[in-house]
Amino acid sequence: GESVGLHLPTLSVQEGDNSIINCAYSNSASDYFIWYKQESGKGPQFIIDIRSNMDKRQGQRVTVLLNKTVKHLSLQIAATQPGDSAVYFCAEKIQGAQKLVFGQGTRLTINP
Amino acid sequence: EPEVTQTPSHQVTQMGQEVILRCVPISNHLYFYWYRQILGQKVEFLVSFYNNEISEKSEIFDDQFSVERPDGSNFTLKIRSTKLEDSAMYFCASFLAGVPYEQYFGPGTRLTVT
């Protein structure tokens, strides 16, 4: 069935360190995977997406890795800053559909 | 930067009452969505709207829910007879088309049903 889930509900990192947020998915028919950031009291904000035929994509300070063999998605944030504190959701788009299926979310907290 | 706006930010209503949640998507976008998020839980898809009709809906989106795009600008979600379990944050989103697959989300309306 459709399900996207996250390995860890919370992640604490030191400011300046790299953060890695993981996600498992189960639907092989997904054609896009997307990472969203949600700050307290706000709507989800797009970070980066990756097409299913890719295994890596880089943005500004972020990298998304896709391992289709084990159905695993990760978001790496380089040099984590206080402004990165938020809940991070992975989401998948099923091929032929428009909706996004979201995972449970990981809360990232930054220690000074 | 263009953004999706939603009103009201917080709506309190009594069980059984009708509510209308309003959204103004980004003006040149073609796809429109409603999602909801019960406190502390993941974001759940409700409905997508394209070319003036519903293109996809979830099991949550039953006969109590309806959507409209009455004037080419606003996009509304109506809940006809609210239930306690409808209490949630409701997000509107819009998407232009193509890549990146970036659905832009509004700030949400917190619906509290008492």
For residue A2, name the pLDDT band (cuts at 50, 70, 90): very low
List of chain B residues whose C-beta atoms are within 8 Å of the C-beta of residue A24: none
Q: How far apart are CA A43 and CA A29, in angstroms?
A: 27
Strand partners, A67: A72
Q: Which of A51, A98, A103 sits opposite B48 (nearest CB)?
A: A98
List of chain A residues whose C-beta atoms are within 8 Å of the C-beta of residue B93: 43
Q: How deeply is A60 buried, as exposed, middle or buried, from its count of CB atoms within 10 A (0-12, 13-18, 19+)?
A: exposed
Q: Is the pLDDT of residue A6 over 60?
A: no
The percent of residues in chain A predicted with pLDDT above 90, rounded, is 77
pLDDT tens column, A81-106: 999 999 999 999 988 888 999 998 99
For residue A27, name the pLDDT band (cuts at 50, 70, 90): confident
Mean pLDDT of chain B: 94
pLDDT tens column, B36-78: 999 888 899 999 999 999 999 999 999 999 999 988 789 999 9
